Structure 1
Amino acid sequence: MPRKRPSSRGSARGHAAPKKLSRSLPTRKRLSPSAWIAVITTGVVIGSSLTAYAAYVDITGGINRENVNTDAFGDRPSKVEGVVNIMIVGSDKRDGANAEYGDAEGERPDTLAIAHISPKKKSATIVNLPRDSIVQLPACKQKGDEYPGSDAQQGMINSAMSYGGVDCQWDTVEKLTDIRIDHFVSVDFTGFKGMVDALGGVEMCIPQKIHDPKAGGLELDAGKQTLNGEDALGYVRSRKGQGDGSDLMRIGRQQEFMASMVRKVLSGDTLKSPSNLYAFLNEVTGSITTDDELTVDTMADIAIAMREVDLNDVNFVTVPNHPWEQNNNRVAWDEPDAQQLFQAIATDEYGGEKDKASSDDSGDDAKDVKPGDVSVEVLNGTGMTNLATQVSGILSERGFGVSGTGNPQGIVPEASTIYHGPDGKAAAELLAKEVTNATLQEDSSLSGNSLRLVMSRDWNGFKTAGATGDVPDTVKSKSAASKPSAC
């Protein structure tokens, strides 16, 4: 059945935060968004080698796990077959080995991002959701004594964690982006430093001398150099000591660090030496928390998918944004640009080389087929009244020809299906870009660009007009293969 979209994303504005959160916080030493993502991305990329070592089970056994009740979220975005979306959380909790980074009550993510892994496109896209984003937060239920819950309200996106823990943050991200989240991963400060040291440091080109007392007393000379864990931690969270001091400019520098870190893992000795790999993974697993459904087998599946991903197809983007009109230290998302990006991610239309999404035998004809060249017979197998008529009208508006409507004869396929003839695959792929979910199947009774669309009970409608993977120019992408300017 089609998913019912929530009628509201929260409308009660100006709601006061619970008293527990109304406090004066000390200056925080924050690990930056891209630094957290470097930890997760690198761990996932190298995971393809995990099963080669007997230490695999011992290492993964050190991961902390947390139960997340996604059934309580209500209506959720649709799941895209094969795709894995991971919510990345950089927790700012200060306890245990992280106590040296200051005292802070409660928990708000320093970082929030979505890692979108697409085996079909052989790509991975990491979308930064700036922690200072002002959004409409949904209501959160109280969770034990630690999380007080809250009504729907306007606030910073990372406040959801303070109100209702990971459950609330997960639900908030899904409702704001309409992207189905499959898992979450959280990393701490100590793990980041340990990973960098386990790699033997990460080489960076520092354009000018850095002196930043607020980043742990960071002192770096200009030029090419290898940063150890402590210096790397200072570098990725340094803001006032570099450039214009803005958080957005810092994100750009951090993405360069992240790319260098991933390149070192893939090109160095980490994957070649069991001892090096074991040391590196010990730092990863000892400092992360995941949902309890991110099992060893699931990690292995993700690792296998990532093994096929080229560095050029590991990309990092930040949600298009602008200073919030009521406070320039906060940001608001650019619309409709942000939603167009989210939709492209949600439907697996963004990332990778577009031709990779099609099979090798699709040839160059796909780009030459236009909607006006295609004729579609629309058959309604959902049991919903007048759906075929409605769909045929939308197809006509989008330039497709409609040869007829009706109900399918015989057995209705479990999944909505676009049938095409031996020479009609390019036309079927063009139609598939318009609908939210449909599989392709060859039918020798069809010829040319004549298609048959059979809508089954999983039918979920059309994508927004024009949303075929193209996103606005305001969405800037940076590849893991890109290198910073030479010193």
Structure 2
Amino acid sequence: MSDGESAAPWARLSESAFPDGVDRWITVPPATWVAAQGPRDTQNVGCHATGAVSVADLIARLGPAFPDLPTHRHVAPEPEPSGRGPKVHDDADDQQDTEAIAIPAHSLEFLSELPDLRAANYPRADHARREPELPGKQLTGSARVRPLRIRRTSPAPAKPAPNSGRRPMVLAARSLAALFAALALALTGGAWQWSASKNSRLNMVSALDPHSGDIVNPSGQHGDENFLLVGMDSRAGANANIGAGDAEDAGGARSDTVMLVNIPASRERVVAVSFPRDLAITPIQCEAWNPETGKYGPIYDEKTGTMGPRLVYTETKLNSAFSFGGPKCLVKVIQKLSGLSINRFIAIDFVGFARMVEALGGVEVCSTTPLRDYELGTVLEHAGRQVIDGPTALNYVRARQVTTESNGDYGRIKRQQLFLSSLLRSMISTDTLFNLSRLNNVVNMFIGNSYVDNVKTKDLVELGRSLQHMAAGHVTFVTVPTGITDQNGDEPPRTSDMKALFTAIIDDDPLPLENDHNAQRLGNTPSTPPTTTKKAPQAGLTNEIQHQQVTTTSPKEVTVQVSNSTGQAGLATTATDQLKRNGFNVMAPDDYPSSLLATTVFFSPGNEQAAATVAAVFGQSKIERVTGIGQLVQVVLGQDFSAVRAPLPSGSTVSVQISRNSSSPPTKLPEDLTVTNAADTTCE
């Protein structure tokens, strides 16, 4: 494999977007494209009403369903050199060669490393399998027609038009969880056609900080998967060739899209939180990052002939964190804002995004109006459902000055969320998963145009399998709440509302519109949109118990109130006095309104260390999470109470069983929170 083929995105800034010199997105006219396409089953398009396959069914079909057939395949011997001259290039050469390996695709044992994919060239579409273009039609009711296939030949200048009001938001989305399920299974299936000799790795970058002091309740997040997904805005090299602008317009690299995806340890839901690129942040100091090399440290200034500083400050917008300090700085800022422990990082640039869309054969979107942007020009010429190519898709998710929208970045975020949902539907359709050539191209584009931290194939496979039975109604897209944009164009975060949102995510509290009764399972796309009903918030599961290792803190950092449920006079006072002598801060004791058999320690989310410290002196391993008591730890003495023990040294590790009080209310969320539920597949 050449150096160019394995280069990270920042090392490809001077490359052409199309290694063979042919810009297939721009130069291939629609007429030629149509002529090259062949007939196709008319049912296997768009949302794949009948072409979808559940992840569970896919795994079953990939497994050794027939015991009488061999489950191992033999590697074909490498051909001997023929000594012939170089072969004349032919269109057929663009198809990916495949090799069978001696391990079945469903085996996890041999997938610890990602197979090497040498094909870094832009994939040529499989014309024989594509459907011909048809005129677009308006949808009536829930009826579906074949979507119009859109390919962009050249940017069309926009005619500025007066703002006609906010375009109705399309509240349709599918499952973000399918990103991991489908990607994992795609990589697994693609392993059929790679030989063991192709053992390259994903492009790696240093991004994560698992020991950050900004992480809230680290023990409470044990087992959670938190992915930071970043769309990188770079105008240099190949990115400029696809209409992204050039380095003179905007040098360096910025985070154009930032999405934090939480998958709790229970694997019962997925939450994707979008951050506006202009979100106001307090400037922080980060290690300098060179986007051209992907390296951290002082950057050489060619104008002055000197090295720059090792540490730099960000500006006041979120996207400046990536521009100045790279992935490390962005992770630092997002962890500070959210309190979530980010343990996976994935970034992809403009070229990579467009190439993945092209490798899929386009992605379906739905718009109630044509889409025109004052800066980018005409993005969608027609309303309705339509399949768009890579360059069009890039403009679709980047457009911020749409003539029919008045909400700026929020309209763009909504489109990004809906596009990602449609992209995932395409990835888990039979058109992709059982078309090995297309599947290979998709994986090639992901590997060659992304860079990651702590992401491996085996991890994605295991994660995908754990999500295969999730209902789409348990997948939620949400945007962080912000205030009124200031004179600098910054969007100030509503810190209290943001804290409530991430507290609910960490504590697995229900989110608005979450519903497990109105959705198909992941991998299934209903032919008619299901009715989405707003589900009243409910408390956590009754008798849900989590076993965690928690570190104790100093008694002087803990405030305790003791309540007596035994009826034995003076018991709470005696316990309170002993706690005070041991260094705890105490409140006046009282009587509990009902009798408990077992002594119980109550605490609010985020106060686990204090609760574990108190539980240890009462000889208890069970603590119960409630809401509304803040930093106070409440101890209710039960019939089993005997004495107060000496506290453990600060920093000791104790095992606790954390239960959730089924009668306690969940975290109160802001009423104007922008939420999209994945079970809603309507187009408005």
**CA positional deviation for 1:256:** 2.5
Query: For 1:180, what is the secondary structure of its paired residue?
Result: coil
* Residue 66 (structure 1) aligned to one of 205, 214, 224: 205
Aligned amino acid, residue 479 of structure 2: T
8 Å CA contact retained: 1:134, 1:154:
no
User: Per-residue displacement from partner, 1:373-420 (whole Å, max 9, x unpaired)?
Assistant: xxxxxxx994843788716579999x9978758999xx979xx9427x
**CA positional deviation for 1:126:** 0.8
CA 213–477 in structure 1, closer or farther in 2 if over 3 Å, else same: closer
* Residue 622 (structure 2) aligned to one of 415, 418, 433: 418
Look up the match of 2:420.
258
CA distance in 1, matches of 2:484, 2:238: 35
User: Per-residue displacement from partner, 1:188-228 (whole Å, max 9, x unpaired)?
Assistant: 11222222222222222332223436326535222332212
Look up the match of 1:179.
340
Look up the match of 1:385.
555
Q: How many residues align?
A: 402
CA 189–168 in structure 1, closer or farther in 2 if over 3 Å, else same: same
Look up the match of 1:106.
252
**CA positional deviation for 1:186:** 0.2
CA 234–212 in structure 1, closer or farther in 2 if over 3 Å, else same: same
CA distance in 1, matches of 2:482, 2:309: 30
Q: What is the 5 A alignment of 1:70-469?
A: 70=209, 73=212, 76-77=215-216, 78-79=218-219, 80-100=221-241, 101=244, 102-103=246-247, 104-142=250-288, 143-146=296-299, 148=309, 155-212=316-373, 214-215=375-376, 218-245=379-406, 246-291=408-453, 293-327=454-488, 329-350=489-510, 382=552, 384-385=554-555, 390=560, 392=562, 417-418=621-622, 431=626, 457=653, 468-469=666-667
Q: CA RMSD in A?
A: 4.7
Aligned amino acid, residue 162 of structure 1: S
- Unmatched 5+ residue regions in structure 2? 1-169, 289-295, 300-307, 518-537, 543-549, 563-585, 602-610, 632-637, 641-646
CA 391–99 in structure 1, closer or farther in 2 if over 3 Å, else same: farther
CA distance in 2, matches of 1:152, 1:478: 35
Look up the match of 1:451.
none
User: Per-residue displacement from partner, 1:306-365 (whole Å, max 9, x unpaired)?
Assistant: 3333332222110011223334x3211123111111222233435596999xxxxxxxxx
8 Å CA contact retained: 1:89, 1:113:
yes
**Larger radius of gyration, structure 1 or 2?**
2
> Are 1:481 and 2:679 matched, yes or no?
yes
**CA positional deviation for 1:45:** 3.1
User: Per-residue displacement from partner, 1:248-268 (whole Å, max 9, x unpaired)?
Assistant: 122223322222222233344
Query: For 2:473, what is the secondary structure of its paired residue?
Result: helix
Look up the match of 2:192.
54
CA distance in 1, matches of 2:587, 2:224: 27
CA distance in 1, matches of 2:403, 2:353: 21
CA 127–55 in structure 1, closer or farther in 2 if over 3 Å, else same: farther
User: Per-residue displacement from partner, 1:252-300 (whole Å, max 9, x unpaired)?
Assistant: 2332222222223334422233333222222222211101x32333233
CA distance in 2, matches of 1:389, 1:139: 34
Using the TM superposition, name which of 177-186 and 280-289 deviates more: 280-289
Aligned amino acid, residue 82 of structure 1: G
8 Å CA contact retained: 1:122, 1:305:
no
CA distance in 2, matches of 1:264, 1:474: 31
CA distance in 2, matches of 1:73, 1:369: 30
CA distance in 2, matches of 1:58, 1:113: 35
Query: For 1:85, what is the secondary structure of its paired residue?
Result: strand
Aligned amino acid, residue 418 of structure 1: K
Aligned amino acid, residue 51 of structure 1: T
**CA positional deviation for 1:467:** 7.8
User: Per-residue displacement from partner, 1:112-162 (whole Å, max 9, x unpaired)?
Assistant: 221111251521111011110112233223432348565667711221222
Aligned amino acid, residue 390 of structure 1: V
User: Per-residue displacement from partner, 1:214-243 (whole Å, max 9, x unpaired)?
Assistant: 326535222332212222222222232342
CA distance in 1, matches of 2:621, 2:628: 13
Query: For 1:120, what is the secondary structure of its paired residue?
Result: coil
CA distance in 2, matches of 1:169, 1:473: 28
CA 312–264 in structure 1, closer or farther in 2 if over 3 Å, else same: farther
* Structure holding more helix per residue: 1
Using structure 1 for the length normalisation, give the TM-score. 0.68
8 Å CA contact retained: 1:418, 1:432:
no
Aligned amino acid, residue 276 of structure 2: P
Query: For 1:92, what is the secondary structure of its paired residue?
Result: strand
Look up the match of 2:149.
none
CA distance in 2, matches of 1:54, 1:40: 26
Query: For 2:477, what is the secondary structure of its paired residue?
Result: strand
Query: For 2:492, what is the secondary structure of its paired residue?
Result: strand
CA distance in 1, matches of 2:175, 2:450: 10
8 Å CA contact retained: 1:40, 1:185:
no
User: Per-residue displacement from partner, 1:165-199 (whole Å, max 9, x unpaired)?
Assistant: 21111111111221111121101112222222222
Aligned-pair identity in percent equals 26
CA distance in 2, matches of 1:171, 1:295: 22
CA distance in 1, matches of 2:231, 2:481: 21
Look up the match of 2:180.
44
Query: For 1:320, what is the secondary structure of its paired residue?
Result: coil
CA 368–412 in structure 1, closer or farther in 2 if over 3 Å, else same: closer
Aligned amino acid, residue 298 of structure 2: D
Using the TM superposition, name which of 399-408 and 346-355 deviates more: 399-408
Query: For 2:285, what is the secondary structure of its paired residue?
Result: coil
- Unmatched 5+ residue regions in structure 1? 1-33, 357-365, 371-379, 420-427, 437-444, 448-453
